[in-house]
């Protein structure tokens, strides 16, 4: 467990903000760089919704701090798993999803097996030739 972690949220950075101010000055970062709003927001909002007494206890009591951190880690993990399940359900129930026949599926699996064998042989050959 990382004791000094500054942020417990494991979501990707672009999902946490909106492209309010697009960076149009750079051609390489024009649509990929997310500039958030100019209003200040705390980086770590895990402890921002507790009372002043609990905040003092978090600052003073290391055992309580570790307990709160473990609880927040679990909540973040559950939230992330729920979001992943939602994304999987969205993909599985997509109207653009094509059904596969049994023979097509078997052919895909066999092709993946052959590709893995070829990759293994290629790695062995490159290791042999690098000596």
Q: Label residue 40 exposed, middle or buried (CB < 10 Å: 0-12, 13-18, 19+).
A: exposed
Tell me if 22 sits within 8 A of 31, measured CB to CB. yes
pLDDT band for position 103 (50/70/90)? very high
How confident is the model at residue 1, as a pLDDT?
47
The ranges assigned to domains in the chain are 1-97, 100-131
Distant-in-sequence, close-in-space partners of 89: CB < 8 Å, separation ≥ 6: none
The pTM for the full model equals 0.38
pLDDT tens digits along 78-91: 888 998 999 988 88
């Amino acid at each position: 467990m990382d004791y000094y972690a500054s942020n417990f949220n494991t979501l990707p950075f672009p999902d946490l903000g909106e492209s309010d101010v697009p960076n149009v000055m750079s051609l390489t970062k024009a649509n990929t760089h997310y500039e958030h709003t100019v209003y200040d927001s705390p980086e770590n909002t895990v402890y921002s919704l507790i009372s002043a007494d609990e905040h003092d206890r978090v600052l003073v009591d290391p055992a309580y701090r570790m307990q709160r951190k473990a609880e927040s880690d679990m909540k973040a993990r559950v939230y992330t798993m729920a979001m992943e399940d939602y994304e999987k359900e969205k993909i599985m129930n997509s109207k653009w999803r094509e059904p596969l026949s049994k023979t097509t599926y078997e052919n895909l699996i066999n092709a993946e097996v052959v590709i893995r064998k070829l990759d293994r042989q290629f790695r062995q050959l490159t290791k042999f030739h690098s000596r």
